[in-house]
Amino acid sequence: MNDTALKNKVIQTLLDIVPHLEIAHHIPGRIRLRISFSGIESLQGVDLGNHVNQIPGILSVRVNALALSAIVEYDPERLDPGLWEALAGLKDRPEQTKEVVDRLLALWE
């Protein structure tokens, strides 16, 4: 898979699961995401940790399937903490998808 295809796949996976995630706790550098029951089917066959680890600035991802949560540790100097809020906000403001995608793509630059 070429670099552009990988970026697009990672971003599309994020966009597909965003409606099923909510921020449970967030401090710059560490975020805990809660996965809704509706997200279980969407995540079938998706290696969430592997996809998220492809994003520049991500340091580690721990998925707890039993607790329906994931903890992501990231470099807040590289990955703006506000980007997580913008991603989570797409559920209520889908018109901001292009702006969020552009911000995600800029991480690879």
Condensed to tens digits (0 to 9), the pLDDT of residues 41-70 reads: 666 666 666 767 788 999 998 888 788 888
Q: What pLDDT, on the 0 to 100 scale, is given for residue 53?
A: 78
Q: What pLDDT, on the 0 to 100 scale, is given for residue 3?
A: 83
Q: What pLDDT, on the 0 to 100 scale, is given for residue 85?
A: 93
Q: How many domains would you assign to the chain?
A: 1
Q: Give me the torsion for CA of 4, 28, 61, 75, rounded to 10°.
A: 50
Q: What is the pTM of this model?
A: 0.83
Residue numbers in the chain where pLDDT is lower than 70: 1, 39-49, 51
**Domain range enclosing 53:** 3-106
Nearest in space to 107 (alpha carbons), one of 46, 70, 54, 29: 54
CATH number at residue 7: 3.30.1370
